[in-house]
């Protein structure tokens, strides 16, 4: 079990690891049914009353809708302690919620990537901050 | 509404990073446009300026800084930003001002100096500006977005590595014939296919970099100025579009997109082009020359479909069959495209109109399309920005 007290998201409010499963923090409009991420970036169907928006957690698992392999380091403010290139970026589809989320692919053989494969949400350690905390982002990995 | 004509165009050739200031580049393009139109500065009755976002106060008020160089005349000066479609917005406002009779002659321009190094986040407030999230959390520079769509396309339509490389080969051939282009080397298939991956499946030569450049267009409804102009070009329509709800494209700066399409891909560009076709009474089948935004090889293919020059998944065949060559059914990017120029954000959409207009005016030398009558310039800006201009002679 990871030490949760010592783990902090680089930007809060995007990924939740408070339970056994790591999940993306999305929001849903109960009037037009649209899910959006990040939850501050509202998206509604034209004509929607925009009433009844609630925070929701996406399921832990989804399917790979597309991917790319990034061969040069992402410029700042992106920051990692270790070199991570080449790294995968996946677009993971959450079918019932009708939303695709992009994120770094971790802990997965990049050669095995294939559209349609099952992926799970996880966290990726990017660097250690001055408080010696593990600074993380959301990420996806192939379901083993 | 009055008929509006392009009577003057000007360009500062595209280049890499420069220590010179953006307004100096703008002045070269505007000077060129004034000379081409054969008019004095005082004839300009409004200025629609694309802003230079990295230029601080001066860049955000680029029109005022430009006006001061040529001499302040008290005319309306409006400064506008629509990402890479900024120039489309400037031209549209110039057109509307003249067509509506607010002014008789208007100047639209944009100038941009490439930032040193990479484009990156412009604020540090992740709640307000989603762009911060993609840089800090997701590690997603712009080509990632194009690559994600390109991977989908390859799986769906069978686009090959060779198709992606073929775009660069063709664009480099045309760019080598354009004195204003930044990149003039002609590439072979082998060289492109051997270039390093940036965001696989896209390789180094299959994406465009950021550049420095400036472009200007003078439009008028003044009958005297039109009569004395050298091959004036009629603007049949100049429109802008934003995205539609349910567009499945993952837009630059986003970290999510709809999984179930309820609108066409690149819906902002679809909307801009459809409005232009309708307004001009001109359809894709009538266009002889097309300048499209080939930010990557994927864009080149996708835009042919988005703007309905062919059906979905058919662009690769058009390219393979030579239909998009200068001597083909539809001359696509005879300028050499962004592939040979790179993006100069505030300037590029104006430049696309300049290139298209110059084709109609028969000024393009070795890359001239034979006797074109109708041309279209199509732009693409991040977060749902697009403009379409249809011109004829």
Alpha helices in B116-240 (DSSP H): 131-136, 142-157, 161-175, 189-193, 223-228
Distance from CA of A137 to the nearest CA of B (A): 5
- What stretch of H or E contains A8? strand A7-9
Is A7 within 8 Å of A136 (Cβ atoms)? yes
Q: What are the structural domain ranges in chain A?
A: 7-142
Which residue, A125, A122, A13, is CA-closest to A79?
A: A125
Residues of A in contact with B126 (CB under 8 A): 11, 38
Q: With contact defined as beta carbons under 8 Å apart, do B86 and B51 qualify?
A: yes
Give Cα B272 distance to the centre of its chain.
13
CA B174, CA B362: separation in Å to the nearest integer?
16
pTM of the model: 0.96
Pick among A45, A91, A135 to test the B interface (most B CBs inside 10 A): A91
Chain B, 44-103: which have a CB under 8 Å from a chain A CB?
A: none
Is the interface score ipTM higher than 0.90?
Answer: yes
Specify the pLDDT at position A1: 45
Answer whether B393's CB lies under 8 Å from B361's CB: yes
pLDDT of residue B122: 80
Tell me if A75 and B120 make a contact (CB, 8 A cut-off).
yes
Whole-number Å distance between alpha carbons of A2 and A122: 12
- Cβ within 8 Å of B, A 24-53: 36-38, 40-41, 43-46
Which candidate from B118, B200, B245 shows the least CB-CB separation from A46?
A: B245
**List of chain B residues whose C-beta atoms are within 8 Å of the C-beta of residue A88:** none
Nearest to A58 by CA among A28, A33, A30: A28
Strands (E), chain B: 5-15, 46-50, 77-80, 105-112, 197-200, 202-203, 212-220, 233-241, 256-258, 289-291, 331-332, 374-378, 386-392
Instruction: Select the residue of A66, A76, A99 nearest B148 (Cβ to Cβ).
Output: A66
DSSP letters for B31-70: HHHHHHHT--GGG--EEEEE--TTSHHHHHTHHHHHHHHH
Looking at chain B, which residue has its C-alpha nearest residue A138? B137
Phi, psi of B35 (to 5 degrees): -60, -45
Nearest to A60 by CA among A117, A120, A14: A120
Asked if domains B5-118+212-231 and B131-201+235-392 share a fold, the reply is yes
Phi, psi (degrees; rounded to nearest 5) at B21: -90, 155
Which CATH fold would you assign to the domain B5-118+212-231?
A: Peroxisomal Thiolase; Chain A, domain 1 (3.40.47)
The values of phi and psi at residue B217, to 5°, are: -135, 135
Report the side by side order of strands in the sheet with B77-80. Answer: B77-80, B46-50, B105-112, B212-220, B5-15, B233-241, B386-392, B374-378, B289-291, B331-332
What is the Cα–Cα distance from B6 to B357, expressed in whole angstroms?
8
Report the alpha-carbon distance of residue A75 to residue B145 in Å, rounded. 15
CA atoms within 13 A on the CB side of A125: 13
What 3-state class would DSSP assign to B102?
coil
* Cross-strand pairs, B33: none
Of B151, B198, B260, the CB nearest to A72: B198
Domain residues of chain B, as ranges?
A: 5-118+212-231, 131-201+235-392
Any idea which fold B131-201+235-392 has? Peroxisomal Thiolase; Chain A, domain 1 (3.40.47)
What Rg do the C-alpha atoms of chain A give, in angstroms?
A: 16
Q: What is the distance between the alpha carbons of residues B98 and B286, in angstroms, rounded to a whole number? A: 26
pLDDT tens for chain B, 393 residues: list them. Answer: 999 999 999 999 999 999 999 999 999 999 999 999 999 999 999 999 999 999 999 999 999 999 999 999 999 999 999 999 999 999 999 999 999 999 999 999 999 998 876 778 888 888 888 999 999 999 999 999 999 999 999 999 999 999 999 999 999 999 999 999 999 999 999 999 999 999 999 999 999 999 999 999 999 999 999 999 999 999 999 999 999 999 999 999 999 999 999 999 999 999 999 999 999 999 999 999 999 999 999 999 999 999 999 999 999 999 999 999 999 999 999 999 999 999 999 999 999 999 999 999 999 999 999 999 999 999 999 889 999 999 999
Q: Beta-strand (E) ranges in B228-310?
A: 233-241, 256-258, 289-291
8 Å CB contact of B136 and A115: no
CB pairs under 8 A between A and B: 133
Listed as ranges, residues in chain A with pLDDT below 50 are 1
């Amino acid at each position: 079990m990871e030490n949760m007290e010592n783990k902090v998201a680089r930007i809060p409010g995007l990924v939740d690891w408070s339970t056994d499963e790591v999940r993306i923090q999305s929001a849903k409009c109960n009037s037009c049914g649209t899910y959006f991420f990040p939850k501050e970036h509202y998206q509604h169907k034209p004509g929607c009353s925009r009433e009844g928006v609630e925070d929701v957690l996406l399921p832990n698992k989804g399917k790979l809708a597309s991917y790319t392999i990034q061969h040069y380091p992402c410029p700042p403010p992106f920051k990692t302690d270790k070199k991570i290139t080449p790294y995968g970026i996946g677009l993971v589809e959450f079918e019932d919620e009708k939303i695709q989320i992009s994120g770094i692919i971790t802990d997965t053989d990049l050669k095995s990537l294939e559209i349609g494969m099952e992926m799970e949400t996880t966290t990726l350690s990017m660097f250690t901050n001055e408080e010696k905390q593990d600074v993380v982002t959301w990420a996806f990995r192939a379901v083993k | 509404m009055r008929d509006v004509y392009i009577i003057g165009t000007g360009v500062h050739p595209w280049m890499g990073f420069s220590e010179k200031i953006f307004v100096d580049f703008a002045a070269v393009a505007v000077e060129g446009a004034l000379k081409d139109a054969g008019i004095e500065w005082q004839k300009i009755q409004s200025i629609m300026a694309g802003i230079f976002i990295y230029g601080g106060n001066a860049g955000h008020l680029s029109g005022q800084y430009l006006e001061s160089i040529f001499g302040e005349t008290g005319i309306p000066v409006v400064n506008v930003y629509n990402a890479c479609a900024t120039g489309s917005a400037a031209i549209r406002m110039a057109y509307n001002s003249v067509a509506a009779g607010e002014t008789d002659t208007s100047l639209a321009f944009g100038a941009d100096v490439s930032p040193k190094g990479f484009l990156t986040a412009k604020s540090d407030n992740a709640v307000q500006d989603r762009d911060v999230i993609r840089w800090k959390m997701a590690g997603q520079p712009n080509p990632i977005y194009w690559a994600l769509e390109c991977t989908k396309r390859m799986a769906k339509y069978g686009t090959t590595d060779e198709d992606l490389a073929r775009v660069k080969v063709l664009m480099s051939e045309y760019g080598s014939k354009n004195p204003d282009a930044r990149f003039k080397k002609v590439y072979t298939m082998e060289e492109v296919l051997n270039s390093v991956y940036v965001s696989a499946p896209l390789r180094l030569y299959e994406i465009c970099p950021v550049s420095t450049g400036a472009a200007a267009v003078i439009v008028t409804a003044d009958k005297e100025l039109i009569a004395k102009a050298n091959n004036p070009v009629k603007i049949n329509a100049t429109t802008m579009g934003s995205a539609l709800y349910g567009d499945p494209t993952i837009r630059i700066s986003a970290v999510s997109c709809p999984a179930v399409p309820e609108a066409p891909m690149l819906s902002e560009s679809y909307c801009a082009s459809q409005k232009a076709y309708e307004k001009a009474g001109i359809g894709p089948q009538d266009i002889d020359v097309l300048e499209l935004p080939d930010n990557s090889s994927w864009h080149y293919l996708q835009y042919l479909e988005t703007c309905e020059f062919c059906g979905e998944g058919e662009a690769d065949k058009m390219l393979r069959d030579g239909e998009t060559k200068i001597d083909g059914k539809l001359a696509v990017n005879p300028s050499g495209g962004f592939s040979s120029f790179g993006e100069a954000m505030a300037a590029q959409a104006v430049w696309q109109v300049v290139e298209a207009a110059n084709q109609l005016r028969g000024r393009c030398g070795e890359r001239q399309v034979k006797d074109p009558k109708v041309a279209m310039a199509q732009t693409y800006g991040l977060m749902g920005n697009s403009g379409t201009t249809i011109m004829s002679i």
